[in-house]
Chains A and B, each alone.
Chain A
Amino acid sequence: MPSEPMNKKRRRKRRSNPSPPLPSSSPSSEQQEEEEEEVGLVGFHLKPSASSKSHTIQPLGNLLLLSGSSSNARDPGLGSLRPLPDDLLLDILTLLPAPDLARLAAVSKPFYVFSTHDPLWRNLVLRDLGGDFLFNGSWRSTYSGLVFPHPSISIRDFYSDYLFQSWLCANLDMRPEWLRTDNIDRRRGISVDEFIARFEEPNRPVLLEGCIDAWPAMAKWAPDWLIRTCGDKRFAVGPVKMTMERYFRYAAAAREERPLYLFDPRFAEKAPELGSDYEVPTFFREDLFGVLGEQRPDYRWIIIGPAGSGSSFHVDPNSTSAWNAVIKGSKKWVMFPPEVVPPGVHPSPDGAEVACPVSIMEWFMNFYSACRTWKKRPVECVCKAGEVVFVPNGWWHLVINLEDSIAITQNFVSRRNLLNVLDFLKKPNASELVSGTKDRTSLHDKFKNAIEAAYPGTIDELTLKAKEKIAREKKPTFWESVADANVGGFKFSF
């Protein structure tokens, strides 16, 4: 499963109206003193750690609802920058080095608010400190090594949808109604043949119970054990590489909209004991990319992340299928079949880019309820420790960790989707789309030749079967029968 490009700047267009919180009543002076930051966030499921004092920015809707002459403290203090929307302002600030950004905090109150926006400091930490950082509660504190009381000045009457939404998404818990639907097929103790016939062949997802109970990983893996076992080895976390110790230190304290998660395709090479603590469940043992040996694309990852981390909608690369086993924690899954594009997602025509500009939390807040009325509703589940989800090739999927989680995932090619994969690799823009290898353009040829060598005649056999299947299932149109010699020649279809 690919990770999102977390370090890449995304053109996030926020919805202009976050679900409006109840307005605070018309502020009298006593009320203002008392709860000046209270925004009336009834109905939002905030994390226990989110204190109302920690956020002082309100959504624009509140400004409109207040009676009396209220103005946005944002505007005067920005001067000629005022007409710029917040996301563009932050785009400018992203380009500044740390000392300049720090200095801007003293310019005016809105500058203070923007220049202390923690995601800006995340970029700077990752860029300037790499994976060596010792997380210190916030990214800003991490960069400087100082701990800041937050905030050191009082900010009143500051309205910004963008910043409010950012704070909100970082501090929301998943609503119960988002977790209620669990309509995936669940199976326990089925045979490999049954799995292939019922799920892999027809390309349907399934959750498998009870097939990883014997993994040593289930008994052994935990943060402390991983830290001890992996020592100084560094694992891929977004754009940097970190030790387990430093990663877990970050994960324990992270409060953000898109937490970084550890996602490493060479974990078994770095720490061989990890590789021997699990084995591929019997259903997925046919793994044809294996014919390429060392030259195969990345195919297995360890995934470690705190609650809220995860991956928004995407389709797995190379047209492979995947399985995902939870060792610790739990994950919420939302899946759509290949022909149904999830709401809020805009794939480019060639499939090279999947623009899902919203974060996972935003997607749930703004799009989840819409698709529940569709005819083709998504397949959903909560996958708990000890369970395995099968993601058929081409299926859109979104995953979010509901708690601190550790999981293993592998992508694979079996005879059931070999032809799909070969087709995918043959595409003219395959070099952009194909992922996980250093040598992209000739992967198709290498793979095809290797399959022919190891399993001669297989490709032809599968191709024939596929054509027979199409012929059986589809009555050709008049013109198709005339034009296509392969479909048994001219046929009248009326």
Chain B
Amino acid sequence: MASEAVAVKIQEGVAVDAVVPAASETSAQRKILLKSVEGEEFLVDELFARGSKMISNMIDDGFTEGAIPLPNVTAPVLSKVVEYWKHHVGKSETDKDAREFDRAFVKDASSSVLFDIIMAANYLDCKPLLDLACQAVADAIRDMNVEQVRGFFGITNDFTPEEEAAVLEENREWSNALTVTGNGQKESNEGGNIVLP
């Protein structure tokens, strides 16, 4: 996945000194070396790497030599994170290109990839990416019924029959309450029926 121009696989054996930035480079040109849990190294513009608050703090704290190890992030996930930074860091929030990227980014991601990205974004402290991935999961399960949610996450029903009946009854009362009283909320059941199986 590390096919982007920014993320370059480093050959083993290349001295790290060879990629330490020269003092005369500005931060816009300086590159940072990131190392995934498998040891794979990614050379990333400092500007993009600062998309992670954690990395940004490490740079500010004087971490200038060698690779920044990221033991909680695998190479495939790190690659996607770097892609995200490339499309977002330094751009305005309404940038069309960034939004288009986001749409494709979440559309093609499986739920396990999304979870990995959620945990990586949390670890790296990259809130916009965390929000994006969480929203993608929420959007996926919204409007799903109970069986569909179970299927989506691979969950076996662990209620006893009595318990399940009790919870479903609770849900039925819920959906009645939302239809009948309305309770002032803007989002009652669209069209008048919440189907809570």
Contact = CB atoms under 8 A, between A and B. Distances in A.
A370 interface: no
B187 A145 contact: no
A102 B171 contact: yes
A144 B188 CA distance: 11
B150 to A, nearest CB: 6
A435 to B, nearest CB: 23
A46 interface: no
Contact of A106 (B112, B142, B171): B171
Contacts of A112: 167
Contact of B146 (A84, A103, A109): A103
Interface string B66-98: 000000000000000000000000000000000
**Chain B interface residue count: which class?**
35 or more
Contacts of A132: 184
Given A88-B118, A105-B167, A144-B178, A128 B137 contact: no
A6 interface: no
A144 B177 contact: yes
A83 B153 CA distance: 12
A88 B119 contact: yes
B164 interface: yes
Contact of A88 (B111, B122, B167): B122
Contacts of B150: 79, 107-108
A95 B139 CA distance: 8
A371 interface: no
Interface stretch (B2-10, B18-26, B155-163): B155-163
Interface string A310-335: 00000000000000000000000000
**Chain A interface residue count: which class?**
35 or more
Contacts of B175: 99, 102
A29 interface: no
A78 B156 CA distance: 9
A79 to B, nearest CB: 4
Given A83-B119, A95-B135, A145-B183, A108 B155 contact: yes
B194 interface: yes
A379 B111 CA distance: 51
A152 B170 contact: yes
A240 to B, nearest CB: 12
B146 to A, nearest CB: 5
A341 interface: no
A146 interface: yes
Contacts of A129: 183-185
Contact of B141 (A100, A130, A143, A154): A100
B186 interface: yes
Nearest to B194: A99
A107 B149 contact: yes
Given A112-B167, A152-B167, A76 B156 contact: yes
Contacts of B137: 92
B65 interface: no
Contacts of B146: 103-104, 106-107
B158 A103 contact: no
Nearest to B147: A107
B111 A108 contact: no
A14 B153 CA distance: 26
Contacts of B189: 99
A83 B115 contact: yes
B149 to A, nearest CB: 5
B181 interface: yes
Identify the interface centre among B130, B167, B178, B188: most chain A CB within 10 Å of its CB: B167
Contact of A146 (B112, B173, B197): B173
A128 B149 CA distance: 25
B138 interface: yes
B38 interface: no
Contacts of B158: 73, 76-77, 108-109
A197 interface: no
Contacts of B166: 152-153
B64 interface: no
B13 interface: no
Contacts of A480: none
A105 B166 CA distance: 11
B138 A128 contact: no
A93 B135 CA distance: 9
Interface of A: 11, 73, 76-81, 83-85, 88, 91-93, 95-100, 102-109, 111-112, 128-130, 132, 143-146, 148, 152-154
18 contacts: A11-B127, A77-B156, A77-B158, A80-B115, A95-B135, A96-B138, A98-B178, A99-B174, A103-B194, A106-B168, A106-B171, A108-B156, A111-B149, A129-B183, A129-B185, A144-B178, A145-B177, A146-B173
7 nearest interchain CB pairs?
Answer: A79-B153, A95-B138, A79-B155, A128-B185, A79-B154, A153-B163, A144-B177
